[in-house]
A and B are shown apart, each in its own frame.
Chain A
Amino acid sequence: MRIVNVKDITRNVKEMCIEANYCLTDDMDQALKQAVDSESSLLGKQVLCQLQENLKIAAEDQIPICQDTGMAVIFLEVGQDVHVEGGLLADAVNEGVRQGYQEGYLRKSVVDDPIIRKNTKDNTPAVIHYDIVKGDKIKITVAPKGFGSENMSRIFMLKPAEGLEGVKEAILTAVRDAGPNACPPVVVGVGIGGTFEKCALLAKKALVRPIGQHSDIPYVKEMEKELLDQMNKTGIGPGGLGGRITALAVHVNTYPTHIAGLPVAVNICCHVNRHCERLI
């Protein structure tokens, strides 16, 4: 049994909220650089160059890449041989978010109630997902999620008879309908199978997969490639102003499901696909 103090959780979450909002991971950075070369539309290229410049300024000025610094989505993979001491794990995470959003000059975008809508002024609470895993470590992933693209995300409860073609069409429909609103070029996380909530979580987790890493399942890998190709033929382009690069990647996760169902969740993320991982 290994003991982890909640203070370590808070400190790490705080630092990760700031880091994720100031700079993208290397794979995202690379994907955006490659996009400039692949784009043929003049306006599209101009938008992609602005995004390059934007990343440079964010790092130089220590300012968030995007003013929507998101709702903090946090995945915790907790080893079952870890004992957390000093307080509640969720409180420690929220304290980290509170400190990170304050010290990092990040925008506080969370309201206390979906109808009454009073800003909590510290960006808490976070949305926390827990997994109990093997081992004595805790893996923390902080993924601040902006809502321009979150609002364009969809869940489809398809009929099994609709099959693979129905799934592909649903995913493309979500991306087409999102159009310019989701700040393309987007990263598309897809969950197929499970239950209503399980497929949504699969889709969310698909967004933190490194760009360019495909599914291990052969048909899923093919679908990821085909969908990316199709999305980049919609003409939506960077900023929705026309062009080739509408999406940077499509990541699909699957899970067993019920004999009567075929749930599909499409979680769209803008080009500011932020996430940051640490193992403690």
Chain B
Amino acid sequence: MEKHMKAPFDKEAAKELRAGDYVYITGTIYTARDAAHKRMYEALEQGRGLPFDIQDQIIYYMGPSPARQGRPIGSAGPTTSSRMDKYTPALLDLGLRGMIGKGKRSKEVKEAVTRNGAVYFAAVGGAGALLSRSIVDSEVIAYDDLGTEAIRKLQVVDFPVIVVMDAEGEDLYERVLNSCQEET
């Protein structure tokens, strides 16, 4: 089913989404990948705060290529989410509502998604040029020294994603594999 939604979004809005839905997101999202997650996790361990208020926000696992002059961003597709699994449950417990990436997640992430009523979306891997056109503004807000891995605040318009894991724990990747096993 095709849906349009605003970001950030709350628990009630998350409940409306089902694994397999094709969703166009408009609003504000944040980027963070390996190095930024490691730093945020360390900050939490040391009792320091996160560099942005994570409540109801979406994190996009993405490190862009450099922007040409006059453009907000370069190529901007998702990276593999599972590398963030170690750090993700703690962020979900703090109110993170959505994640955009690609690929399978751990059992711990899945449990934290259902525990907190969050959603895991996939964007199409390797479609970085296409996805860049849905990003209208980009600003580095933390960890500038990490270059492509810095945390960016993005403004997106109709950013296309697919719900892989919904708030009830239904998982599209698993559904695909199970339906195939039934056939063979």
The answer to whether A107 touches B104 (Cβ under 8 A) is: no
The answer to whether B162 touches A180 (Cβ under 8 A) is: no
Interface size class of B (residues with CB under 8 A): 35 or more
Instruction: Give the distance to chain A from B150, nearest Cβ to Cβ, in Å.
Output: 11
The answer to whether B68 touches A50 (Cβ under 8 A) is: no
A residues in contact with B175, CB < 8 Å: 242
B residues in contact with A105, CB < 8 Å: 65-68, 74
The answer to whether B173 touches A50 (Cβ under 8 A) is: no
- Stretch of B3-11, B43-51, B92-100, B128-136 lying at the A interface: B128-136
The answer to whether B80 touches A151 (Cβ under 8 A) is: yes
- Stretch of A59-67, A71-79, A91-99, A212-220 lying at the B interface: A59-67
Q: Is the interface of A mostly helix, strand, loop or mixed?
A: loop
B82 at interface, CB cutoff 8 A: yes
B residues in contact with A68, CB < 8 Å: 77, 79, 128
The answer to whether B74 touches A107 (Cβ under 8 A) is: yes
Q: Mark B108-141, 1 if CB is under 8 A from A, else 0.
A: 0000000000000010111111101100000000
The answer to whether B65 touches A241 (Cβ under 8 A) is: no
The answer to whether A242 touches B82 (Cβ under 8 A) is: no
Residues of A in contact, count (CB < 8 Å) = 46
The answer to whether A64 touches B82 (Cβ under 8 A) is: no
A100 at interface, CB cutoff 8 A: no
B18 at interface, CB cutoff 8 A: no
The answer to whether A64 touches B129 (Cβ under 8 A) is: yes
The answer to whether B22 touches A67 (Cβ under 8 A) is: no
The answer to whether A239 touches B122 (Cβ under 8 A) is: yes
A201 at interface, CB cutoff 8 A: no
The answer to whether A107 touches B127 (Cβ under 8 A) is: no
A residues in contact with B173, CB < 8 Å: 179-180, 240-241
Q: Which residues between 160 and 177 of chain B lie within 8 Å of chain A, taking CB atoms?
A: 160, 162, 172-173, 175-177
The answer to whether A181 touches B176 (Cβ under 8 A) is: no
Across the interface, B102 reaches (CB within 8 A) one of A63, A65, A183, A235, namely A183
Q: What separation, in Å, do the CA atoms of A108 and B124 have in the docked complex?
A: 22
The answer to whether B130 touches A57 (Cβ under 8 A) is: yes
The answer to whether A50 touches B127 (Cβ under 8 A) is: yes
The answer to whether A63 touches B132 (Cβ under 8 A) is: yes
B residues in contact with A61, CB < 8 Å: 68, 71, 129, 132
B89 at interface, CB cutoff 8 A: no
Closest residue to B146 on the A side, CB-wise? A119
Across the interface, B183 reaches (CB within 8 A) one of A51, A63, A235, A240, namely A235
Q: What separation, in Å, do the CA atoms of A68 and B184 have in the docked complex?
A: 35
A residues in contact with B63, CB < 8 Å: 67, 107, 109
Question: With A50-B124, A67-B74 known to touch, is A181 a contact of B68 (CB < 8 Å)?
Answer: no
Query: A interface vs B, CB < 8 Å?
Result: 43, 46-47, 50-51, 53-55, 57-58, 61-69, 105-109, 117, 119, 121, 146, 148, 151, 179-181, 183, 233-237, 239-242, 270-272
Task: Name 16 A/B residue pairs within 8 A (Cβ), A-sorted.
Answer: A64-B128, A66-B77, A66-B129, A67-B75, A67-B148, A105-B66, A107-B148, A117-B35, A180-B102, A180-B125, A181-B102, A233-B184, A237-B176, A239-B125, A240-B103, A242-B179
